Amino acid sequence: MKVLVTGGCGFIGSHTIVSLLNNGYEVISIDDNSRSTTATLDGIEAITGVKVNNYQVDLCDLAKTKAVFAEHSDISGVIHFAAYKSVGESVSIPLLYHRNNLNGLINVLECVKEFGIKTFVFSSSCSVYGNIEHLPVTEDTPFKEAESPYARTKQLGEFIIRDFAKATPEVNSMVLRYFNPAGAHPSGNLGEMSWGKPIYLVPVITDTALGKRDKMTVFGNDYDTRDGSCVRDYIHVMDLSDAHTNALEFANNDKGETNCEVFNLGIGEGVTVLEAILAFEKVSGMKLNYEIGARRDGDVVAIYAEPTKAFDVLGFKPKYNIEDIMSSAWAWDKKMNG
């Protein structure tokens, strides 16, 4: 079976391609490389021995997008990752995010329908829930107000897919809401490329360890949590990638109760910021230079998934823990910084 992965040169997309290839799928990629690099294709080839063909196409260009689908009339499924994802940038340039993320999605769905493709998997996010009141988060947790234009594009993207599914019963759509992806491929040949100054916890930790920043700040240690710092649900990128392969197979086999199924992808456990730092220090043997700062505006105290549905229905079984995430991310960043 041939699968089209949009955003295949990105962090999660490239790792998912590895999972797909390891499970016998043929894969092509569309990625305009505006926020990624084709060097990830070399990493994929080093791991799998397969050179993946990437089409450098902007999905907002419907004609060029259709041309890729027309060239590969045997595509059986699409996994759609391609989107801008910087929360801060989305606040500064909201129209860029709405235009890119939503127009690209609409064009891909139009091609899915026109070319008779059976399966569509969408990369969503726990950001759709907003500032939630009750933990853990289930698939039925109502959406709150989006905390950023990026998060709103994910909410709107899900509504678009629901409407599409109602009007297009022949297509099985899967919406995967994941929590905090991190880590790198265990081989050290694939990981997260840094574009600008990292803002997410794991790359901030590794940047600090590499000396790229003098120290890092833990924003608040007086929250109502185990150690006073914020809690997040970290999922290893390879566990997340395997879940996409599982979701694709599930949809291909018509196993859903409806033709639009939603799954949370997390490990169902929260890790505090200070626990994440301790995990890094354990696997690296280093002492991290950090300070305790004031709370940061907009930070949610705690969020983690109730992943039972993905465990039971998709057979999703995470293999990696926070120490595995830290050790693989650290190995990748040391390699990249030579």
Partnered with residue 172 across adjacent β-strands are 119
What is the CATH number for 6? 3.40.50.720
The residue annotated as part of the active site, out of 150, 223, 234, 304, is: 150
* pLDDT at residue 298, rounded to an integer: 67
pTM, entire model: 0.95
* pLDDT at residue 132, rounded to an integer: 84
150 an active-site residue?
A: yes
Q: Kindly state whether residue 196 falls inside one of the protein's structural domains.
A: no
35 and 101 co-located in one domain: yes
276-282: long-range contacts (C-beta < 8 A, 24 or more apart)?
276/201, 276/202, 276/205, 276/234, 276/322, 276/326, 277/205, 277/218, 279/322, 279/323, 279/325, 279/326, 280/205, 280/206, 280/209, 280/326, 280/330, 282/323, 282/326
126 and 40 co-located in one domain: yes
Q: What is the DSSP letter of 230?
A: -
Q: Kindly state whether residue 24 falls inside one of the protein's structural domains.
A: yes
107-149 tens-digit pLDDT: 999 999 999 999 999 999 999 998 888 889 999 999 999 989 9
* pLDDT at residue 158, rounded to an integer: 98
169-200 tens-digit pLDDT: 999 999 999 999 999 999 999 999 876 778 88
- pLDDT tens, the chain, 338 aa long: 999 999 999 999 999 999 999 999 999 999 999 999 999 999 999 999 999 999 999 999 999 999 999 999 999 999 999 999 988 899 999 999 999 999 999 999 999 999 999 999 999 999 999 888 888 999 999 999 998 999 999 999 999 999 999 999 999 999 999 999 999 999 999 999 876 778 889 999 999 999 999 999 999 999 999 999 999 999 999 999 999 999 999 999 988 899 999 999 999 989 999 999 999 999 999 999 999 999 987 677 888 999 999 999 999 999 999 999 999 999 999 998 87
What is the CATH number for 223? 3.90.25.10
121, two tokens: 């998997």
Range of the domain at 121: 2-182+234-265
| Total domains present in the chain | 2
Residue 178 in 3-state DSSP? strand
CA atoms within 13 A on the CB side of 40: 26
User: 123, 83 in Cβ contact below 8 A?
Assistant: yes
**Residues written for the chain:** 338
* pLDDT at residue 300, rounded to an integer: 77
The pair phi, psi for residue 119, each rounded to 5°, is -130, 135
